[in-house]
Structure 1
Amino acid sequence: MDPLTLGALIGVATVVVLFSGISVAVGLLVVSTGFLLVFDGPGSLELLPEVFFANLDDFALLSLPMFIIMGASIASTRAGADLYEALERWLTRVPGGLVVSNLGACALFAAMSGSSPATCAAIGKMGIPEMRKRGYPATVAAGSIAAGGTLGILIPPSVTMIVYGISTETSIGRLFLAGVVPGLLLVALFMAWSIYSTWRQGAGEVLSATRYTWRERAEMLPRVLPFLAIIVGVLYALYGGVATPSETAAVGALLCVLVAMVIYRLYDPRALWVVLRDSTRESVMILFIIAAAGVFAFMMSNLFVTQSIAEWIKELEVNRWVLMAVINVFLLVAGFFLPPVAVILMTAPILLPIVTAAGFDPYWFAVILTINMEIGLISPPVGLNLYVINGIAPDIPLKTILLGSLPYVLCMIAAIVILSIFPWLATGLPTLVMGPAL
């Protein structure tokens, strides 16, 4: 069978298997094993165990569970509520300040926890009722929190950036830096739209009757600043040449657990066990997907599908921006149905050679890919953040949450356009800090 036809058949089979409800990792293994058995014979199956475990034989993978523990320890405390309250006290008298403080809290908590659902739950439980009480429309209240939660996979330290770096053999440090300015750009676009939407609808004019003194504003800082200091310290250790990403993640995880124990009195062994249990479960899930995606990539390469697709695209001789537009549409559709980690592991190794051959920077492309994955988190049919918001605010219909999130999808598309016009927004900081990429 022609490799391109075979590739189309593999794509259809993969979608069907994953839509059956089977886990992503198991689904990839089933598809890989089936196609190798049929089209390459039983002999090729002998290599699968070696390929599976070889994909886990990477020292950089140690950073994954450490960053996950770091986020889980923060998510298990009142850090989200305190972060929200601190920003609310500082911005409560500013017109539109409440929605700005909510988005700021989402950005900071998402960066600390790395978990989009945890951010939505932690900030949304307090932010959504308060915004609605102040007269903000339900669309803005729900949509801003849903969109704000997605920022964790872009703003460093980001687990998805680590996965991209491992799957494409690019520098994790550069990837983290590449996400900083685009992450701030998205925060600014989200805030601008929220303030405009609030002003246009004449909402959010009911200011808090409480006037906080400077002392009351400052008293919240000791609960928030230690976590922020840890994030700054992690980034300094990473870019200052003090430690490797894995060592930095380990120290950051330990410090976050200690801060949670000291500030939030997380002494109960049962609470600590929950943090470690949930972190282990999520880490194993991601590592399982990484190993299975490696087997899937081996199958695609062994059947000459990957090489044929790359050669076919190269022979099209289309404008490189048309090519990038097609890739963006593909990533958007994939993000609608699959989690970000799975999409990155399945597509990045195939797309990166095509993208770099067209003259695009691999770190810039990592940011574009990640923003596409963010769109998937607030878009049906999967749209995990939509369901999290519906769970914490069941009186807001899912349709309303979806309508509220659509303008933020447009903000993300606008960010992709801006980054396409000014790619240095993603590549400038890594080059400034670490020098030109080799």
Structure 2
Amino acid sequence: MDPLTLGALVAFMTIFVLFSGVSVALGLLIVSAGFLLVFDGMRSLELMPEILFGKLDNFALLSIPMFIIMGASIASTRAGADLYEALERWLTRVPGGLVISNLGACALFAAMSGSSPATCAAIGKMGIPEMRKRGYPDGVAAGSIAAGGTLGILIPPSVTMIVYGIATETSIGRLFLAGVIPGFMLMALFMAWALYSTARSGDRDKLTARSYSWAERFEILPRVLPFLFIILGVLYAMYGGIATPSETAAVGALLCLVIAMVIYKLWNPRDLWVVLRDSTRESVMILFIIAAAGVFSYMLSSLFITQSIAAWIGELEVNRWVLMAAVNVFLLIAGFFLPPVAVILMAAPILLPIIQAAGFDPIWFAVVLTINMEIGLISPPVGLNLYVINGIAPDISLRTILLGSLPFVGCMVVAIVLLCVFPGLATWLPNMVMGPGL
């Protein structure tokens, strides 16, 4: 069978299996084993266990459970509520300040926890009722939290960037730096839209906001600043040549646990067990997907599907920006149905040779891919953040949450366009700190 036709068949069967309700990792293994058995014989099946475990034989993978523990220890405390309250106290008299407070709290908490659902839950529980009480439209209140939660997979440290780096053998340090400027640019776009929509509907903050004294503003900072120092310390250790990403993640996880125990009195062994249990569960899920994706990539390469697709696209006489537009459409559609980690592991090994052949920077492409994945988190039918917000505020309909999120999707599209026009937004900082890439 022609490799391109075989590739189309693989794509169809993969979608069919994943839509059947099977877990992503198991679905990839089923598809890989089936096609290898039919088209390559029993010999290739004998290599599957070696490939499965060999994919996990990577020291960089240790950073994933460590960063997850770091996020889980933060999410198990009142850090989100304190972060929200601290920003509210400092920005309470700024026009539209409550929306800015929520978006800023989402960005910082998402960067610390690396989890979009945890961010939506932690900030939304306080932010959404407060915004509604002050007269903000339900769509702005819900949509801003749903969108703000997505920033965690772009602003470092990001598990999604680690997965991309491992899948494409790209420097994780460069990927982290590449997400800094686009992450804050995206947050600024979110804030700009939120302020515009607030002004259009009437700013009621000035009438309803509480006035805080300077003593009250400084009072809460000791609860928030240690976590921010940890993030800065992790980044300094990584880029100051003090430690590798995996070692830095381990130190960050330990410090977050210690701070959670000291500041938030997380002494109960049951609470600590919940943190470690949930972290282990999420880590195993991600690592299992990584291992299964390794087998899936081997199957595509063994049957010459990856090489044939890359060669076919390379022979197309189309403008490279038309090609990039098609890639973005593909990523958007995939992100509507699959979690970011699964999309990256399945698509990155296929797309990277195509992207490089077209003259695009793989570090820059990682940022574009990640923003596409952020859109998927607030878009139906999966749209995980939408359902988390609906669980927090069940009296706000999913339709209202979705409509409130759509303008933020537009902000993400604008961010992708800006990155295409000004690729230095993603590549300047990595090149300045770590030198020009190869």
> In the alignment, which residue of structure 1 is the partner of 2:246?
246
User: Following the alignment from structure 1 to structure 2, what is the Cα–Cα distance between the partners of residues 210 and 80?
Assistant: 20
**Whole-Å Cα distance in 1 between the matches of residues 396 and 433 of structure 2?**
45
Deviation at 1:208? 3.4
Q: Residue in 2 aligned with 1:332?
A: 332
**Counterpart code for 2:399:** K
Instruction: State the secondary structure of the residue aligned to 1:184.
Output: helix
Q: Paired residue for 1:88?
A: 88
Counterpart for residue 159 of structure 1 = 159
Asked whether 1:342 is paired with 2:335, we answer no
Distance 1:360 1:237 in 2: 30
Measure, in 1, the Cα distance between the counterparts of 2:256 and 2:32.
39
Q: Which amino acid aligns with 2:293?
A: A
Deviation at 1:126, TM superposition (A): 0.2
Return structure 1 stretches of 4+ with deviation > 2 angstroms: 203-210
State whether structure 2 residue 408 is matched by structure 1 residue 408.
yes
Q: Residue 205 of structure 1: CA displacement?
A: 4.2
What is aligned with 2:186? 186
Equivalent positions of 1:380-391 (< 5 A) are 380-391=380-391
- The total of aligned residue pairs comes to 438
Q: Does structure 2 retain, via aligned residues, the 8 Å contact 1:137–1:203?
A: no
**Counterpart in 2 of 1:291?**
291
SS of equivalent residue, structure 1 residue 396:
coil
Name the structure 1 match of 2:112.
112
Distance 2:346 2:204 in 1: 44
The equivalences for 1:38-117 within 5 A come to 38-117=38-117
Point out where structure 2 has 5 or more consecutive residues left out of the alignment.
none
Residue 93 of structure 2 contacts residue 206 of structure 2 at CA under 8 Å; is this kept in 1?
no
How much is the aligned-residue C-alpha RMSD, in angstroms? 0.7
- 2 CA distance for matches of 1:91 and 1:82? 14
Separation (CA, whole Å) in 1 of partners of 2:388 and 2:402: 12
Structure 1, unaligned runs of 5 or more: none
Deviation for aligned residue 1:40: 1.1
Q: Deviations over 1:146-169 (max 9, x none)?
A: 000000000000000000000000
Q: Deviations over 1:242-293 (max 9, x none)?
A: 0000000000000000000000000000000000000000000000000000
The CA deviation string for residues 197-253 of structure 1, in whole angstroms up to 9 with x for no partner, is 111122444543521100000001000000000000000000000000000000000
**Residue identity matched to 2:19:** F
Query: Aligned letter for 1:61?
Result: L
Residue 8 of structure 1 corresponds to 8
TM-score by length of 2: 0.99
TM-fit CA distance, 1:317: 2.1
Q: Does 1:323 align with 2:319?
A: no
- 2-structure distance, mates of 1:142, 1:203: 17
Q: Which residue of 2 aligns with 1:279?
A: 279
Aligned equivalents of 1:139 and 1:354: distance in 2?
Answer: 39
Tell me which amino acid in the other structure corresponds to 1:13: M
Aligned to 1:376: 376
The alignment's TM-score, normalised by the length of structure 1, stands at 0.99
Residue number in structure 2 paired with 1:392: 392
Measure, in 1, the Cα distance between the counterparts of 2:277 and 2:127.
28
Shift of 1:56: 0.2
Shift of 1:82: 0.1
The answer to whether the 8 A contact 1:92-1:208 is kept is no
Q: CA deviation at 1:367?
A: 0.1
Q: Matches of residues 126-205 of structure 1 in structure 2 within 5 Å? A: 126-205=126-205
* Aligned: 1:358 with 2:358: yes
The amino acid of 1:223's aligned partner reads R
Q: CA deviation at 1:14?
A: 0.3
Please state whether the residue corresponding to 2:277 is helix, strand or coil: helix
Tell me which moved more, 62-71 or 200-209. 200-209
Q: Secondary structure at the match of 1:429?
A: helix
- Paired residues of 2:93 and 2:209 also in contact (CA < 8 A): no
Please give the alpha-carbon distance, in whole angstroms, between the structure 2 residues aligned to 1:231 and 1:241. Answer: 16
Partner of 2:228: 228
